[in-house]
Amino acid sequence: MADIARLVEVIEPEATALGFELVRVKMTGSGEERTLQIMAEDPETGQLVVEQCMDLSRRISEEIDAIEEAGEELVQGAYHLEVSSPGIDRPLTRAKDYVAWAGHEVKIALTEKVDGHRNLRGELEGIDGDSVTIADKKAGRVAVSLDNIHSAQLILTDRLIAATQPLDMSGVEDIEETNQEEEANT
């Protein structure tokens, strides 16, 4: 298991030191196939380029290793570390995300049902205090507490694409693609 709150305490200062904002820390998978997923963004661009992901990954790895060498086990067992940008259809994890992306289509999964619904999908109207409002396609206008939101994510639409800065593809030219048939023959 991993204590996500403790991992955030360790990871957030590393992201901040590089000028990034932490978007999400999540552990996925099970057994030997677990992944510690870190999403962060450069506040100026809303994304990270490949080199920024590598820099953050190195810092996080070094910090986790140092803490674990000192005797505190942050993550039990083997895992993969994945550092990425949140992408266009990003998760909404912070109150400011519900402000920034108001007017865009979202899907929200709730911890507990509201008006008989556990899943909502529609236009995000925004946030007031800790109450997020969505114009759900089926239920109409619904207000839910931030504490009741299990997960929320933007839906990829033409409007969202138009409102998003073009992705910076720096570093991508250094990635080599190989043909699967060629790999099999080698």
12's enclosing H/E stretch is helix 4-17
Question: What confidence tens digit (pLDDT) does each residue in 35-59 have?
Answer: 999 999 999 988 999 999 999 999 9
Question: Which tokens sit at 97?
Answer: 């995300």
Cα 162 to Cα 75, 101, 157, 166, 171, distances in angstroms: 39, 13, 9, 9, 24
Residue 20 tokens, joined: 């990034």
Per-residue pLDDT tens digits for 81-138? 999 999 999 999 999 999 999 999 999 999 999 989 999 999 999 999 999 999 999 9
In eight-state DSSP terms, residue 31 is: G
Kind plus residue range of the DSSP H or E element containing 105: strand 105-114
CB 81 within 8 A of CB 61: yes
- What would the mean pLDDT of 151-171 be, rounded to a whole number? 81
In this structure, what token pair is assigned to residue 95? 């109150």
Number of CB atoms found within 10 A of residue 2's CB: 17
Does pLDDT of 178 surpass 80? no
| Rg, the chain, Cα only | 19
Q: Please name each of the domains of the chain with its CATH number.
A: 4-84 (3.30.300.70), 95-163 (2.30.30.180)
pTM: 0.80
